[in-house]
Amino acid sequence: MMVVVIVVMVMPLLLGLPLYTARSIRDVTIYRRSAEDHEKRLQAWEIGYTLGIDMNFSESNVYLCSSFTLPGAYFRVEMTALKLSLLVLFVAARCLLT
């Protein structure tokens, strides 16, 4: 019973984190059709941040998708959603078995 209470208390964070991450990634993914342009823009942001000229890299949460190519930009969101579904499945199975 205690596990269910804890999961209900933590559920807003577990649901809100993937949604916030997806929204942040969508805001910095400029070129949705051309992967080459996406990579060039990310490299320009990284170089500007490294040289100290442009703080857009850290202020816009570009680091959330900068280590992935365009098709894999939402990898962190997908992994968080998968972990959430496994957690809910585990809690439901545990509650049914006890």
* pTM of the predicted protein model: 0.57
pLDDT at 38: 72
61-97 confidence digits (pLDDT tens): 776 666 666 667 778 888 888 988 898 899 889 888 8
pLDDT at 14: 78
Domain count, the chain: 1
Domain range enclosing 22:
2-97
DSSP 19-75: HHHHHHHHHH---SS-HHHHHHHHHHHHHHHHHTS--HHHHTTGGGTTTS-GGGTTH
